[in-house]
Structure 1
Amino acid sequence: MPDRGAVEESRLSADMGTADRYRKKVDVAKLLPMLPQLLRDATTHAHTANTPEAWMLLADVYSTIYWLAARHRWMDMAELAVTRQRWAVEQQPNPLGEAVAARDRAGTYLNFGDVERGLSLVDRAIAKAQGALDTTDRDIAVCILNLRGMTLAGRLKDKKEAKREAERHIRSALATAQGMSRELDVHGLTVGSQSAFTHRLATCVDLGRPREALTLTDDLSAALAGMPATRVAPTYINAARAQLDTGDRDGALESLSMAWNVAPQFARIHPMGREVFRVLSSLHRRSNAELLRLSKLSGIKV
């Protein structure tokens, strides 16, 4: 519920900018305590101003809450956050905001393992965005939805269907991303060729094609240059998964260490990162200084 007093718009925008920076750095310790007041202020401002921009800012706060809840697997909170996010963007006409909200809502289907419904939601949202938007906004909406689509497709149990669906979303994402002159920062999301690359790499691993994932680039560090920690850390974790699948234990440990160096708070709560560490620690038969370091950081005993 909104407060009775007014909220200074400049202060609210500054606070949202701070939250975005914490999110990009995956500084959970600083982001988490500021969200309750930010949510209250954004709610108050949205009800007072009643503009598409004000409601979109509120939706962005809910998107940040969803992101944080999904990382921790706080599933009830994640589901509530995307429900409120969708409600916020529907208060005033905002087709791009609706696409962002659909992308996050599809993420909850991914989190709950209901991949087929998530893919259906993505396809409906893409069709709606193509009819309601044009030029750059249309490309942004279609790209972010296809990125979510390829991730969902990679988790399908029928791997023949998974490959077909994933390649469809990959082609569309790459085509729209190539039309962007640079990586764009849109409502807390990174959109462009680099982001498409990181999602493609992860999807190849999910499809059981680790060698293909590793051949997407000869220099992962260069491919990720300029990307926020929210994209860099999980990409190194996915590279570690691929290396582990191909028997490269030393490479997997190096990639996992990179993820920890880039975003230690993210690596500590990322389920796949923790699982890769458990597998690596079980495979190493003698003491390893780096494993011991990560064990101390993660709280997982070797």
Structure 2
Amino acid sequence: MSETPGPGANVARLRKARGLSQTALARRADVSLSLLTKIETGQRALTQGTAATLARAMGVTLDELLGVARAADETRVRELTATIRRFDIPGEAPPVQEVARLLGDVVARRSAADLAGVLDRLPALVAATQSRAHHTERPEDWAAVASAYSTVYWLAARHRWMTLADLAVMRQRVAAELSGPLAVAIAARDEAGTFLNTGDFDGGLTVVDRAVVAAASIRDEHERAQSLNALHLRGLTLAGRIKDRREAERHRAAALRTAEQFDVDEDIDGISVGPANTLTHVVATDVDMENYRAAIDAAPGAVDPASGLPATRIAPTHMNVARAHLALHDRDRALDSLQDAWAAAPQMARVHPTSQELLRVLISLHRYSNPALTRLARRADVGM
């Protein structure tokens, strides 16, 4: 069996590069030596909460430990970065219809988890939206800029390109403040996401709490509900990563209250708010908090096709169900759920650290040939 990808495999590599023994790292991170050994050898899946703890103990960020995913087109990444750099140097302003077309296309591809398609079109979208907004200075045009940069953050976070993600949320915040309160709330949600992606969960919770206070005063009732739902869901995820049950319950209760104000889930340029999306976050946090049975029982409602949720929400939910099954030693159902994640969003599954880690552990644990696992490993370009 050849070496497989996955964050857990990076733990041993980073530990050895720093001259640390397993005992020394376990002591520094305050984790059991048995757990660390199992993580490194692929007998236990590395959770992002534990990964953040190990990363801090080794003096690296969470994204460094998880590993950076390769871009489908490195030239497009350079083009996107150059376009972002020219934020204050607008080009010719395109007509509003062209901006709407570009934004609609990118949002649709984001919802379908078409990472390559999003990357291919983002440079043109970013250039068009910021050029038009600089020329018109209208709030609705700045809202389009904020939405474009929200998608830049989303794409960068999926690949753990955190320098690009940080730059994106900085630009997003500027555009949002020239737009309106909903855009400001979404920008704060994405800013908290950069803290989540680098393992600074407490810092992310502080960003969320500040934004919740501001969002509570939004005059438009519907925008207030959209803003608060998005923010509390981010807070729920952050609290779950550090297993802060009290904080998680506070955000969970608030998210559920705001979700009740929606008959169906709504899409804000690629970001879902509403009851079904709230349930996907509840499932994820239940897994983080080791409430595995609760997560498995709730999951069918979260992945029901009738919910209308995009692939970007369906696939991670299947991954979280796979985590729960694996924690309960049900490898077959874990593999089934991981296959469901790949079916829903193959490009996302290929770069997602949870998917990579689940596949690594399943390969390590299976001591016999499993045709389904072999097929999945082949799709992921992993040797067995």
**Closer, same or farther in 2 for the Cα pair 1:237/1:4, shift >3 Å?**
closer
For 1:106 and 1:272, the matched residues in 2 are separated by 20
**Which position in structure 2 is the counterpart of 1:115?**
201
For 1:138 and 1:281, the matched residues in 2 are separated by 46
> Is 1:170 paired with 2:252?
yes
8 Å Cα contact 2:349/2:355 also seen in 1: yes
**Which position in structure 2 is the counterpart of 1:196?**
278
SS of 1:190's partner is strand
SS of 1:85's partner is helix
SS of 1:185's partner is strand
**Which position in structure 1 is the counterpart of 2:304?**
222
1:16 CA displacement:
0.5
8 Å Cα contact 2:108/2:270 also seen in 1: no
> Is 1:281 paired with 2:363?
yes
1:297 CA displacement:
1.2
For 1:35 and 1:107, the matched residues in 2 are separated by 20
1 or 2 for the larger relative contact order (CA 8 Å, sep ≥6)? 2
1:127 CA displacement:
0.7
8 Å Cα contact 1:155/1:206 also seen in 2: yes
SS of 1:216's partner is helix
**Which position in structure 2 is the counterpart of 1:34?**
121
SS of 2:103's partner is helix
Alignment of 1:224-243 (within 5 A): 225-243=307-325
SS of 2:308's partner is coil
> Is 1:135 paired with 2:226?
no
8 Å Cα contact 2:303/2:317 also seen in 1: no
Percent identity, please. 45
> Is 1:80 paired with 2:167?
yes
8 Å Cα contact 2:279/2:301 also seen in 1: no
* 1:232-287 deviation per Cα after TM superposition (whole angstroms, max 9, x unaligned): 00000000000100111111000000010111000000001110111111111111
8 Å Cα contact 2:142/2:175 also seen in 1: yes
1:221 CA displacement:
4.2
1:43 CA displacement:
0.9
**Closer, same or farther in 2 for the Cα pair 1:220/1:12, shift >3 Å?**
closer
8 Å Cα contact 1:95/1:133 also seen in 2: no
The gaps in structure 2 that reach 5 residues or longer are 1-85
The residue type equivalent to 2:225 in the other structure is: D
Moved over 6 A (4+): none
**Closer, same or farther in 2 for the Cα pair 1:223/1:34, shift >3 Å?**
closer
For 2:245 and 2:305, the matched residues in 1 are separated by 24
Q: 2:188 aligns with which of 102, 105, 114?
A: 102
8 Å Cα contact 2:90/2:134 also seen in 1: no
> Is 1:12 paired with 2:94?
no
The residue type equivalent to 1:72 in the other structure is: H
The residue type equivalent to 2:231 in the other structure is: L
1:181 CA displacement:
1.2
For 1:177 and 1:125, the matched residues in 2 are separated by 18
**Closer, same or farther in 2 for the Cα pair 1:285/1:219, shift >3 Å?**
farther
Say how many residue pairs are matched: 297
SS of 2:217's partner is helix
The residue type equivalent to 1:101 in the other structure is: A
SS of 2:267's partner is strand
1:4 CA displacement:
3.9
The gaps in structure 1 that reach 5 residues or longer are none
**Closer, same or farther in 2 for the Cα pair 1:221/1:54, shift >3 Å?**
closer
> Is 1:63 paired with 2:150?
yes
**Which position in structure 2 is the counterpart of 1:300?**
382
For 2:173 and 2:102, the matched residues in 1 are separated by 22
Q: TM-score, normalised by structure 1?
A: 0.95
8 Å Cα contact 2:169/2:190 also seen in 1: yes
The residue type equivalent to 2:223 in the other structure is: D
Larger radius of gyration: 2
